[in-house]
Amino acid sequence: MKKEKFYEYGKKEWFKGAIQFLILDIILSLLFYDSIIPAFLFLPTCWTYERIRRIGKIRKQKEKAEQQFLEAMRGVGNALLAGYSIENAITEGWKELKKIYGEKEKMVQEFRILKTQIELNQTVEKLFYHLAKKTEIESIEDFAEVFSAAKRTGGNLAEIIQKTNQWILEKNETKREIQTCVAGKKTEQRIMSLMPCGMIGYVAFTSPGFLDSMYHNMLGIMVMSVCLFIYIGAFLIGKKVVEIEV
């Protein structure tokens, strides 16, 4: 099977990111240089901004897809306990997932594809491997490995799926606890990131001419450029610190 894209970051998202970047670009140029000209010089960094934004969007989509996979596998596990074969259990898992999220969600569509491919005599192990490769979610990759080994050795699929569900659930609970703990720090990081710009804007607004020595001369431009790079570097480091992977 050829590799397909699971996560979406289409033209609409690119356009929204470009608008956001343009606004930030103009604000920073006016605050640090009192001119819109540097904004044009910084336009190439739009690609870096889009890349960072895309990574964040995809991370959220992965978390959502993992949660939906867990819901689907709960339905599969319950169907197995009720005596269904694994093939029919996957159909039941798809039905349960569709009831909860509707037909437009990506994971719902993936389970519909699983059901269709099984009807065409594709092996369940191969289909889960394909789903793991397509989503690039570690827990699904681990499940595909365990499921394949269980099928080969004749293991209890219902028990394995229940244990896998429990493991994913515990992982997600740990992630939520960590996110709760760092939520305050994230807010502090955002406030601290806005403060330098806020202070420059406040001084420029309340004391016109106070910062004139920092604008429109070589030494002032150099000093403000260094401040801007330090500010951007500190923002990126702060953002990285509060983003904890589980």
pLDDT at 2 (0 to 100): 44
Q: Which residue has the tokens 């934004």?
A: 53
pLDDT at 1 (0 to 100): 40
| CA triple 55-14-182, angle to 5 deg | 35
**How many separate domains does the chain show?**
1
**Dihedral over Cα of 82, 130, 5, 242: its sign:** positive
Its domain, for residue 15, covers 11-242
Is residue 138 assigned to a domain?
yes
From the list 236, 196, 242, 245, the residue with the least C-alpha distance to 49 is 236
Is residue 1 assigned to a domain?
no
Helices and strands per DSSP (H, E), number in the chain: 9, 0
pLDDT at 245 (0 to 100): 61
Tally of CB atoms within 10 A around 237: 10
- Name residue 123's amino acid: T
CB distance 40 to 91 below 8 Å: no
Is residue 91 assigned to a domain?
yes
* Residues lower than pLDDT 70 in the chain: 1-4, 242, 244-246
Is residue 194 assigned to a domain?
yes
pLDDT at 82 (0 to 100): 86
pLDDT at 151 (0 to 100): 77
Phi-psi region of 107 (alpha: psi -120 to 50; beta: other; left: phi over 0): alpha
Report the predicted TM-score, pTM, of the whole model to 2 decimal places: 0.77
pLDDT at 163 (0 to 100): 82
Q: Which two tokens stand for residue 118?
A: 């099984």
